[in-house]
Amino acid sequence: MQPEALLLPAVTIPEPLRAPAIVEGHVTPGSLDDQVLQYPARRPPAVWYVALAFTASVMILGFVLIGYTFYMGIGVWGNNRPVFWAFDIINFVFWVGIGHAGTLISAILLLFRARWRNAISRFAEAMTIFAVMCAGIFPLIHVGRPWLAFWLFPYPNQRALWVNFRSPLLWDVFAVSTYFSVSLLFWYLGLIPDIASLRDRTTSKVRRFFYTVFSLGWRGAASHWQHYEKAYLLLAGLATGLVLSVHSVVSFDFAVSLVPGWHMTIFPPYFVTGAIFAGFAMVVIVLVIVRETMDLKNLITMYHLDVMNKVILTMSCLMGYAYVMEGFTAWYSMDEYLHHIFMQYITGTYGWAGWLTIACNVLIPQLLWMRAVRRSYVGMLFVSLAVTVGMWFERFVIIVISLHQDFLPSSWHIYKPTLVDFGILAGSFGLFFTLVLLFARVLPVIATTEVKPLLPGAQPAHAGGHHE
Amino acid sequence: MSDRTFAVVGLFHNATDLMAAIPRVRAYRLGTVEAYTPYPIHGIEAALGLRRSPLGGMVMLAGILGCVTALFFQWWMSAVDYPLVVGGKALFSWQAFVPIMFEVTVLFATFTAGLGMLLLLNKLPFFGHPMLSSQAIASVTRDKFALAVEADNGTLDVEAAKTALRAAGASALEVLFVPAEEPISLQSQFRTGAGILLSCAVAGYVMYWAIKLFPVVPPMVHMEDQPRLDAQRASAFFKDGHGMQQPVEGTVARGQLPYLIKTPFEAGEKLVNPLPRSGPVLQQGRVVWNQHCGVCHGALGNGVPMLTAAYGAKPANLLVPPIRDYPDGKFYHTIMVGKNAMPSYAADLTEDERWAVIDYVRALQRAQNAKDEDFK
Contact assessment for residue A294 and residue A445, using Cβ atoms and an 8 Å cutoff:
yes
Query: Which of A67-76, A303-312, A375-384, B298-307 shows the lowest per-residue confidence on average (mean pLDDT)?
Result: B298-307
pTM for the model stands at 0.81
| pLDDT per position as a tens digit, A239-278 | 999 999 999 999 999 999 999 999 999 999 999 999 999 9
Q: In the predicted model, is pLDDT for residue A464 greater than 60?
A: no
CA distance A449 to chain B (A): 5
Number of alpha carbons in the 13 Å side-chain half-sphere of residue B139: 16
Q: How far is C-alpha B128 from the chain's CA centre?
A: 40
Instruction: Return the pLDDT at A465.
Output: 46
Mean pLDDT of chain A: 90
pLDDT, tens digit, 9 for 90 and up, residues A313-329: 999 999 999 999 999 99
CA atoms within 13 A on the CB side of A36: 31
Q: Is A12 an interface residue toward B (CB < 8 Å)? A: no
A161 touches chain B (CB under 8 A): yes
Given pLDDT bands bounded at 50, 70 and 90, which one contains residue A5? very low
Q: How many residues does chain A have?
A: 468
Contact B141 A200 (CB under 8 A): yes
A234–B59: do the CB atoms touch at under 8 Å? yes
- Give the pLDDT mean for A433-442: 94
What distance in Å separates residue B267's CA from the closest CA in chain A? 48
> pLDDT by residue (tens digit) across B64-111?
999 999 999 999 999 999 998 988 889 999 999 999 999 999 999 999
| pLDDT, tens digit, 9 for 90 and up, residues B328-349 | 999 999 999 998 888 899 888 9
Distance, C-alpha A315 to centroid of its chain: 14
ipTM: 0.91
Amino acid in the structure at residue B153:
N
- Using the beta-carbon criterion (under 8 Å), do A166 and B103 form an inter-chain contact? no
Q: What percent of chain A has pLDDT over 70?
A: 94
pLDDT-derived band at A468, boundaries 50, 70, 90: very low
Mean pLDDT of the B278-290 span: 92
Buried-state track B216-251, b at ≥16 Cβ within 10 A, e below 16:
eeeeeeeeeeeeeeeeeeeeeeeeeeeeeeeeeeee
A208 part of contact set with chain B, CB < 8 Å: no
Between positions 351 and 380 of A, the ones with CB within 8 A of B are: none
B82/A161 Cβ within 8 A: yes
B78 closest CB neighbour out of A165, A193, A225: A165
Q: Which CATH architecture has domain B264-369?
A: Orthogonal Bundle (1.10)
Query: pLDDT tens digits, residue range A175-194?
Result: 999 999 999 999 999 999 99
Q: How many residues does chain B have?
A: 376
The average pLDDT across A140-164 equals 90
**Mutation for A interface: B42, B61, B92, B149, most A CBs within 10 A:** B42
A458 touches chain B (CB under 8 A): yes
Task: Determine the pLDDT at residue A467.
Answer: 44
- Nearest residue of chain B to residue A448 (CA atoms): B39
Average pLDDT over residues A210-215: 94
Nearest CA in chain B to A250: B99
Contacts of B84 in chain A (CB under 8 A): 164
A and B: number of Cβ contacts within 8 A? 232
Q: How far is B84 from chain A (nearest CA, A)?
A: 9
Which amino acid is present at B283?
Q
HEC string for chain B: CCCCEEEEEEEECCHHHHHHHHHHHHCCCCCEEEEECCCCCCCHHHHHCCCCCCHHHHHHHHHHHHHHHHHHHHHHHHHHHCCCCCCCCCCCCHHHHHHHHHHHHHHHHHHHHHHHHHHHHCCCCCCCCHHHHCCCHHHHCCCCEEEEEECECCECCHHHHHHHHHHCCCEEEEEEECCCCCCCCHHHHHHHHHHHHHHHHHHHHHHHHHHHHHHHCCCCCCCCCCCCCCCCCECCCCCCCECCCCCCCCCCCCCCCCCCCCCHHHHHHHCCCCCCCCHHHHHHHHHHHHHHHHHHHCCCCCCCCCCHHHCCCCCCCCCCCCHHHCCHHHHHHHHHHCECCECCCCCCCCHHHHHHHHHHHHHHHHHHCCCHHHCC
Please check whether residue A463 touches B, CB under 8 A. Answer: yes
Residue A1: pLDDT band by 50, 70, 90 thresholds?
very low
| Residue ranges per structural domain of chain B | 1-184, 264-369
A234 touches chain B (CB under 8 A): yes
B241 — pLDDT class (breaks 50, 70, 90): confident
